[in-house]
């Protein structure tokens, strides 16, 4: 059962349920308590220990039902074999020692003892034994490693070989010469077995290939230009951005918790506890001061970069466990604060409201920087990282680079993320080279992968 559970955890990850090592241990302990005899109780135990949301609960329930449903061997051949009484009589005459009423169907002859285990099993029509043998052979053939539909034939052959197909073929050759009727029954049973194995492999593909397909799809999305994501891919990209945010939270929130406590100061602890013979009743900790991270995000939401800003703002506001203070601003021809809009609404609703207020217009960086300096310059402190996301195309208007210089002087760092390729910077109405003079970091940020790296580098400076 342990191996089955490990395979189930892999299948669960394939349907989007995040199963950490600690959660898998909890699930195995729960299964050890409730046992595996009652399938309903087992299902409830796994859902309670692994699912962390309603969506995960539904996905995990479907995964459980598929994982623990064992395909049954087809019984199409049994009707023909059962109705052919003459053939069975011939079998009994050919082998007088055989008798009816064995472990198989009533009225069928007991298979000759000279046959191999697989042939015996198929002729006795013991469906439970056949299902168990397929499950055991699937484990031996490492069916959980299947990833692509083109591997179905390979894994079907491996499972049949593990069950003893070669010995079965030898038995068929022998029976064809000595007992043709029994050989025909065995061939029909083998055909049914092949179909059951194919069903098992299809089930394995549905369970275990999802994770690989999801990884491939995410890898394609991670490297796709955000500005050219199709409408049908927006929901998938938002889900990917949430995964990126969760990964960043897991990476950087734990170190910050350790830093708040500090590291054990062994020398001070020993001195403090000298009266107790060095037993550390009172501990002393070394603490290194870390700035509390503050981020001010200024995003161009004009038509050319609005979709990139959508994903960027979603990522920034998903890092609540890592970044203590985030304030977001959006602009096209003028600038407004959008922090409250993002916090109170879903991503779709938030971006719709933001775009209705300042989106779709022609970008005017100079006018928007004037708005920021007039109303929000006081938000900047020596602990603030300012992130500007935009293509720096000012439509030949005054870029007001002097305001950007003052923003840089008041903040800890000024990072500019540009969705355009570097070859386009400085051409046409692009003011990127002029703005870059006052930036601490300037990076191209056209894909989700580049966005993740940029935000990760920013957050890492506070660790």
pLDDT given for residue 93 in this prediction: 40
For residues 382 and 411, the answer to whether their CB atoms sit within 8 Å is yes
pLDDT for residue 462 is more than 50: yes
- Interval 90-99: pLDDT, tens: 444 444 444 4
CA–CA separation, 202 vs 152, rounded Å? 7
| % of the chain residues with pLDDT over 70 | 84
Give CATH superfamily name and number for 290-460.
von Willebrand factor, type A domain (3.40.50.410)
Q: Are strands 325-331 and 335-337 parallel, antiparallel or unpaired?
A: antiparallel
**What is the residue-averaged pLDDT of the chain?**
81
For residues 17 and 56, the answer to whether their CB atoms sit within 8 Å is yes
pTM: 0.57
Burial tier of 435 (Cβ tally within 10 Å: 0-12, 13-18, 19+): buried
CA–CA separation, 450 vs 444, rounded Å? 7
CA distances from 274 to 48, 264, 282, 283, 285 (A): 49, 16, 10, 12, 17
DSSP assignments along 5-46, one per residue = HHHHHHHHHHTT----HHHHHHHHHHHHHH-SS-HHHHHHHH
Which of 17-21, 66-70, 219-223, 442-446 has the highest mean predicted lDDT (pLDDT)?
Answer: 442-446
pLDDT for residue 369 is more than 90: yes
Beta strands, E only, 237-324: 263-264, 285-286, 294-300
- Interval 162-215: pLDDT, tens: 999 999 999 999 899 899 999 999 999 999 999 989 988 888 887 777 666 667
Question: What distance, in Å, lies between the first and last C-alpha atoms of the chain?
Answer: 42
pLDDT given for residue 242 in this prediction: 85
- Interval 6-44: pLDDT, tens: 878 877 877 778 788 888 888 889 988 888 888 889 889
More confident position, 138 or 218: 138
CA distances from 29 to 12, 73, 302 (A): 17, 33, 54
CA–CA separation, 35 vs 65, rounded Å? 17
Q: Enumerate the domain spans of the chain.
A: 2-67, 76-87+113-219, 290-460
Band of pLDDT at residue 61, cut at 50, 70 and 90: confident
pLDDT given for residue 459 in this prediction: 81
pLDDT given for residue 293 in this prediction: 66
pLDDT given for residue 71 in this prediction: 54
């Amino acid at each position: 059962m342990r191996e089955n559970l490990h395979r189930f955890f892999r299948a669960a990850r394939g349907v989007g349920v995040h199963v950490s090592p600690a959660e898998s241990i909890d699930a195995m302990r729960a299964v050890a308590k409730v046992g595996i005899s009652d399938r309903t109780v087992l299902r409830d135990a796994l859902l309670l220990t692994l699912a962390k949301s309603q969506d995960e609960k539904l996905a995990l329930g479907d995964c459980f039902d598929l994982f623990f449903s064992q395909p049954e061997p087809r019984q199409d051949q049994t009707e023909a074999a059962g109705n052919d009484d003459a053939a069975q009589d011939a079998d009994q005459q050919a082998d007088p020692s055989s008798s009816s009423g064995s472990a198989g169907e009533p009225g069928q002859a007991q298979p000759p003892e000279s046959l191999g285990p697989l042939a015996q099993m198929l002729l006795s029509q013991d469906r439970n034994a056949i299902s168990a043998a397929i499950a055991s052979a699937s484990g031996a053939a490492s069916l959980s490693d299947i990833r692509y539909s083109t591997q179905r034939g390979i894994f079907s052959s491996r499972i049949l070989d593990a069950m003893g197909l070669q010995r079965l073929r030898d038995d068929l050759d022998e029976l064809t010469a000595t007992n043709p009727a029994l050989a025909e029954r065995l061939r029909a049973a083998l055909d049914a077995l092949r179909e059951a194995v194919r069903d098992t492999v299809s089930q394995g593909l549905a369970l275990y290939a999802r994770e690989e397909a999801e990884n491939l799809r995410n890898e394609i999305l991670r490297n796709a230009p955000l500005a050219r994501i199709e409408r049908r891919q927006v929901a998938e990209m938002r889900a990917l951005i949430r995964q990126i945010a969760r990964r960043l939270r897991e990476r950087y929130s734990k170190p910050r918790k350790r830093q708040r406590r500090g590291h054990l100061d062994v020398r001070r602890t020993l001195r403090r506890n000298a009266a107790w013979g060095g037993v550390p009743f009172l501990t002393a900790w070394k603490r290194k001061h870390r700035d509390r991270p503050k981020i001010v995000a200024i995003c161009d939401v004009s038509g050319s970069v609005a979709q990139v800003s959508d994903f960027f703002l979603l990522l920034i506001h998903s890092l609540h466990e890592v970044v203590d203070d985030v304030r977001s601003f959006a602009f096209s021809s003028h600038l407004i604060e959008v922090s409250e809009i993002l916090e109170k609404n879903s991503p779709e609703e938030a971006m719709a409201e933001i775009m209705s207020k300042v989106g779709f217009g022609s970008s005017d960086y100079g006018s928007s920087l004037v708005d920021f300096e007039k109303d929000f310059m006081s938000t900047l402190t020596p602990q603030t990282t300012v992130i500007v996301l935009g293509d720096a195309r000012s439509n030949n208007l005054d870029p007001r680079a002097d305001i950007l210089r003052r923003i840089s002087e008041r903040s800890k760092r000024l990072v500019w993320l540009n969705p355009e390729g570097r070859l386009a910077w400085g051409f046409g109405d692009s003011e990127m080279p002029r703005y870059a003079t006052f930036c601490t970091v300037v990076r191209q940020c056209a894909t989700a992968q580049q966005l993740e790296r940029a935000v990760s580098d920013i957050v890492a400076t506070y660790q």
